[in-house]
Amino acid sequence: MIKSVVHDEARLVQRSQPATPADGQTITDLIDTLRANQENCVGMAANMIGVNRRIIVVDMGILPVAMINPEITKMAGPYDTQEGCLSLSGERPTHRFKTIDVTFLNQNFQKQRQTFTGFVAQIIQHEVEHCNGILI
């Protein structure tokens, strides 16, 4: 179900709690909401729809990919950039890394470890920061 996007910074800066299999509907809602906002959004974290769980979805081209309890374990190639956010107005400066390693659970709660580069890595970093209560 498509959910309203949270704009209240006081809610967005709260650290998210680990997700469990009971959060399956949140994953579906997050994917639906990302698709509904695809012209302005390439990734979302659950706190952006009012659910304080460590779940992100990232538009990787064909289908949005859900990452549950994501953790960035390695970063390389620092750079500075500007980013926007569906929950915030305008663009803001931020610091990112070109390559990241991420451990996460997929939608079937199977452990995954992948390396991401470029724009996808940037999106994941942004959404993981949402889970950690960090805004750009």
- The Cα 82–Cα 58 span in angstroms is 18
Asked whether the beta carbons of 104 and 90 are under 8 A apart, the reply is no
Q: Which active-site residues does the annotation give? A: 127
Q: How far is CA 36 from the centre of its chain?
A: 16
132 phi and psi angles, rounded to 5 deg: -90, 5
